[in-house]
Amino acid sequence: MTEKTKRKKFPRYSGIAATLILALLVLAACAGSGCVSHQDTTSAPATAAPPAISPDIATASSAIPTGTGQVSGTTLRRIIVTNADAAELLLAIGAGDRVVGISDTVKNHPVLGSRFAGKASIGSWQAPDIETILSLHPDAVISYSSYTPKNADRITSAGIPLLLIDCYKIDTLASDARRLGNLTGRDAEAEEYVAFLEQYEAQVQSRTAAHPPARPPRVYIESYSDYSALTGGSGGDLLVTMAGGENIAGLLPVSSPKVNAEWVTAQDPDVIIKTAASGKNETELREIHAKLVGRTGIANTSAVRTGRVYVISGSVTYGPRSVIGLAWVAGILNPDTSAAIRPREIQDEYAGRFVAATNTTAAIYPQPG
């Protein structure tokens, strides 16, 4: 991403000191009543605190270790991928043919599974089968950095590099794509994807900046489980802030805290956005929406009263398609400019240029505008 885009990307809220004080007061008040509790361990990878990482695990920017030592600049030709977002980005840059093994997460993915049909399954990403990995003679295994396999030490002790490349949050997609492009010899294709990403990021931000609201809309954005708030720096928080909104949980000092109806009601958000698991169809999104607006205790929030409650698929909130999610969130938060932001067209373009059939799954309910 350009430096200009980076400067625009995190427009934190006006009166940030006052907001921080308010957040701390809310936490103090909730300490006795249980408004905010411990971290939600069911949240998506980017919202969880990274576990300790063994020093012999390589990152994508490191030289690639092999059984015979360090080999800098090696092109990966045999890849095992445990991370569905990395698997999709490999497809997007034309390197899907390098994949020889996949985790169950990739195998069972509603869109990606068929694209990797016939690839060997290594089982769960949490504890992949080491014997199968060894039999595939991979140049590297790719995993999330936040959620590494429990038996990562067995992979690296066998001399197989474990590359920690998330391909998950919108603020690292450009660098992740370039790393994968460099590792697979698909630099030009990676730059094509990055250009697509940055084009629509800039378009969304320029159009929302051209007609700013009197004050940023206050947003409660929730992860997959009920009352699991997405806090500052999470993938959902980035979409809200880049689209010109204020995340009411953005300054809470815990990752993915559990809040409750009393806390949400006290914050009185203008907009509520719920993240649903990837692969949900429109009927399922509608059912999640009905349960969301029907929750006891939040019916009197401004968001519910004005009908500004949405359910958005994780397929466009996180991962290589998150710029589509950015466009949807921008349309939600900026109704006056939503006609100029066309997420369905962006989704169709992505499917046509990068990963086919990714425009056939439901993205949001209800559709704004």
Last residue of a domain, one of 153, 188, 223: 188
Distance between CA atoms of residues 140 and 106, nearest Å: 17
- Pick the most confident of 9-23, 67-81, 91-105: 91-105
In a domain, residue 202? The reply is: yes
One domain for residues 146 and 182: yes
In a domain, residue 342? The reply is: yes
Distance between CA atoms of residues 279 and 274, nearest Å: 15
One domain for residues 143 and 214: no
Give the pair of three-digit tokens for residue 59.
């990152």
Average pLDDT over residues 17-26: 45
DSSP-derived 3-state class of residue 185: coil
One domain for residues 289 and 307: yes
In a domain, residue 184? The reply is: yes
One domain for residues 204 and 334: yes
In a domain, residue 258? The reply is: yes
Among 75, 99, 104, 74, smallest CA distance to 87 is for 99
363 near 282, Cβ under 8 Å?
no
In a domain, residue 55? The reply is: no
Last residue of a domain, one of 155, 173, 188: 188
Q: What is the pLDDT of residues 281-304, one digit of tens each?
A: 999 999 999 999 999 889 889 999
Residue 227 domain boundaries = 3-47+194-365
One domain for residues 170 and 256: no
Last residue of a domain, one of 156, 188, 220: 188
Bridge-based pairing state of the strands 69-71 and 64-66: antiparallel
Q: What is the pLDDT of residues 135-185, one digit of tens each?
A: 999 999 999 987 889 999 999 999 999 999 999 999 999 999 999 999 999
Question: Using alpha carbons only, what angle is made at residue 316 by residues 269 and 197, rounded to the nearest 5 degrees?
Answer: 110
In a domain, residue 58? The reply is: no
One domain for residues 32 and 69: no
For residue 222, give the CATH number of its domain.
3.40.50.1980
85 confidence band (pLDDT: 50, 70, 90): very high
In the prediction, which pLDDT does 341 show?
86
One domain for residues 328 and 179: no
Among 163, 171, 184, 161, smallest CA distance to 92 is for 184
Q: How many structural domains are present in the chain?
A: 2
Q: Which amino acid appears at position 45 of this protein?
A: P
Backbone angles phi, psi at 206, to 5 degrees: -70, -40
One domain for residues 94 and 157: yes
Residue 112: pLDDT over 70: yes
